[in-house]
Structure 1
């Protein structure tokens, strides 16, 4: 089956003007040509729902190509898609070129309903570069996307295109794409982009704003080695983070920050879960950098939770309290500053380079994520045994902290919360390897106790945030009493829930 491997990077117009002068491109004579593409779908967008992109492309004045693409992009902007392409004429579709029988039949079944949905019109400047035994096309596309009404075909919305695509023309692996991208990004701000022109066009056509992206089910398969399993999970975590980037930068909804943090936390947990299978240099390079990014987003989420889940119930219980009104006003000012800080963190060059470098390390032909230590080689049952050992270690950490729960202080409950979070993420990573029924029961109880621990932590965090705001005697005394009462009730509930949980049958 033919396929396309490309790396997509967004770039500002100002930065794009600097590309031609970069050493990797300066000695190569580029080609320039205009490309006009029309994307087709049914009125019900049946192709889009199946992850299929169908376009007719006009290159120059008279050359026409029909292209069918399937498959979803991986994280880190690297896309691996099935692709079929052949010469055609305007409004002519020959789906016999598609060698996937099911896809071919699907397209033919919907052929009579096809309508233009959006178009792209851009000028491509393309360089062909030899790198690490591979040939790479570096294409700078500048132009626009126009979405049309399915009812009358009139353009209803437009947005600009300014992006760089590195496509592997010839070579054994995508490593050359990342090597070249990292070299270019040293002097030009390039950000790994996961939305294709087709995805952007569809969003424009239906005027849709992508909702906050949650984690996807674990992509782990039994045949994988621990190193391969780590790579698949790390990419899924990275994809969740990247799907929430624009929402964080725009400040539209606090949930984008929350889900971005979840993606980072899951990624950090995967480093710990797969520690024996990771090369020390790889873990030492990237684990601290993801931890630091998580901390940069942490302040924003703390204030979001404080305002919505701690202060709001208190305001409901004590309406028109002047002290609480002042507390909300001061908190909103700090929250706004924290949101701005989070937006800066996910739009800066340091973050772009981290995503690019980390993706490169994961996609290398011989990934640095695989060491010769425990569980590094594949084979029947190897990953399942590896999972059992790692899960048992997570549970042992919980048992150690929870031996005498009545004596735990705030720091102790925090350590227990982190230990439960690691167990949950590790269970979810290895879920495809475990018996479903037992896993569901175990996870249900685990999530319940994790929720209690989260609420307890919210009270501790609220007390810290109030202290950071500075004195306000009326509001502080009311909040302090409220928090102390909540912590007492949650502690009693946690002690009971812990005993029940530790008696459960393990799914591994």
Structure 2
């Protein structure tokens, strides 16, 4: 079983990392370098990929000229926040290395049900290659735990295209697994690095297809109907963290405001999950995680205003054409484009010690089930209770809070009531995302209805944002003799009237949507 953490490091920070490692108090028992060349194999329709497997042949050339070769297959495993656990099987090969992988060299008992070895073998072909230098340090921690630390620098190549490899891997060898996190915390404290969740193989498949990561949506967590409390917490929090890290990777490679907004949504889901489960696992550590995620969410709320403006002119916006065809709105909105320096600062945040410390602590808390340490012995049985014993109460509480907000909006259809409705609606949706799938398809009707209402609420907030910009344009001109309004004073009232007309139409649609949501029958 391979257990490892991976960091991405900028090439210009490699010397700083190696110097920090050399100056550390850890006992380094072995250091060496070698050149690794790897060929990755699969069928044309990526049958191995469908089983979440990776198959490679590796040739290792050491500094003394010695050459070794092996064939490796990695089977489907578990990934929580960048901590990878995967069954790995290796077979030594003679040199020179064969140009084709041979599945028959492995013990046939390792293959999962439905894996047609002979059929897949007949269709195997080389898809992509990696070529990199690996520097290895065998580190002995003060406790006696042994961890292999490697620095890989090179390229992934496929079809004339290539992308760089610059990453640090920490692989657990023996001893106490918690020391893997201790070493990771040390690395993060010495140099700016970012937790990596994509393997070299996964990146190779992307290069092969010419695809790039896209933003993902918050979908319902696939909890089985009979799942118990503790495994449900681990699965729900892990999937929320995976959502965060996926969209974090998209943002760091594209600086897309949409991707950053998705990251913030993911933090909100993590916070909500922790609040739900903390009712039973009330302890200071959960409260600390909630506070930390709330803090970083607040630190990045500045993106909301800019994101709202982008949404107004996005491809799916019902207002895009009218805004683009207006004489002055495009120029007005152009003044409020997201500053590149703020985006760059946000990219850098994901490599800070502050953020890495939070995520590493969270992953360690999940993987080592540290909440058990704070529970009295007579309460440990709670962890084995069916989740439905709790989820019914969670859904009912969220539903009742939403009903109050819906009733308030029916009586006062104004902006303040809409804002007051927004968060109870979000919390009800997040509760449904967390546990709705326990109840099968019957949860979908409520979820869809609430999502439609949320879209309407957010559209109203977008129009409110535009209204504020128009008013601000006029006020800025009034307050300064030197300022020139983008929208002429004679046309200002027309633009505000256009916005208010859209708001009134949307209010009518929202009222109908609220009526529909109010009448949905609870499914729990």
Q: Does 1:41 align with 2:49?
A: no
SS in 1 for 2:467: helix
Matches within 5 A, 1:128-277: 128-131=138-141, 135-149=145-159, 156-171=160-175, 174-215=177-218, 217-222=220-225, 224-251=227-254, 253-277=256-280
Cα separation, partners in 2 of 1:494 and 1:208, compared to 1, 3 Å: closer
Residue equivalent to 1:102: 112
Residue equivalent to 1:507: 523
Residue equivalent to 1:9: 7
CA distance in 2: counterparts of 1:477 and 1:378, whole angstroms:
62
User: Structure 1 residue 187: deviation in Å?
Assistant: 1.7
CA distance in 2: counterparts of 1:373 and 1:483, whole angstroms:
60
User: Structure 1 residue 182: deviation in Å?
Assistant: 0.9
Residue equivalent to 1:390: 394
CA contact (8 A) 2:313 2:323 kept: no
SS in 2 for 1:23: coil
Residue equivalent to 2:127: 117
Residue equivalent to 2:75: 70
CA contact (8 A) 2:75 2:86 kept: yes
Cα separation, partners in 2 of 1:353 and 1:206, compared to 1, 3 Å: same
CA contact (8 A) 1:238 1:267 kept: yes
User: Structure 1 residue 140: deviation in Å?
Assistant: 2.0
After superposition, give the CA deviation of every residue in 1:289-328 in whole Å (9 maximum; x if it has no partner): 2223333443334323324426976573376644324203
CA contact (8 A) 1:304 1:335 kept: no
Q: Please, what TM-score do these two structures have when normalized by structure 1?
A: 0.86
User: Structure 1 residue 69: deviation in Å?
Assistant: 0.8
Gaps of 5+ in 2: 478-484
CA distance in 2: counterparts of 1:8 and 1:307, whole angstroms:
34
Matches within 5 A, 1:352-501: 352-367=356-371, 371=375, 377-378=381-382, 382-405=386-409, 406-407=411-412, 409-434=414-439, 436-464=440-468, 470-471=476-477, 472=485, 474=488, 477-501=493-517
Q: Does 1:304 align with 2:307?
A: yes
CA distance in 1: counterparts of 2:465 and 2:203, whole angstroms:
39
User: Structure 1 residue 191: deviation in Å?
Assistant: 1.8
SS in 2 for 1:99: helix
Q: Please, what TM-score do these two structures have when normalized by structure 2?
A: 0.84
- Over aligned residue pairs, what C-alpha RMSD do you find? 3.2
CA distance in 2: counterparts of 1:324 and 1:304, whole angstroms:
16
CA distance in 2: counterparts of 1:376 and 1:415, whole angstroms:
38
CA distance in 1: counterparts of 2:323 and 2:513, whole angstroms:
31
Q: Which moved more, 1:482-491 or 1:259-268?
A: 482-491
Cα separation, partners in 2 of 1:388 and 1:95, compared to 1, 3 Å: farther
User: Structure 1 residue 53: deviation in Å?
Assistant: 0.6
User: Structure 1 residue 244: deviation in Å?
Assistant: 1.7
CA distance in 2: counterparts of 1:369 and 1:301, whole angstroms:
39
CA contact (8 A) 1:251 1:339 kept: no
CA contact (8 A) 1:98 1:104 kept: no
- Structure 1's consecutive aligned runs of 4 or more residues displaced over 6 angstroms after TM superposition are 373-376
CA contact (8 A) 2:219 2:433 kept: no
Q: Which moved more, 1:212-221 or 1:412-421?
A: 212-221
CA distance in 2: counterparts of 1:337 and 1:62, whole angstroms:
47
SS in 2 for 1:274: helix
Residues paired across the two proteins, number: 497
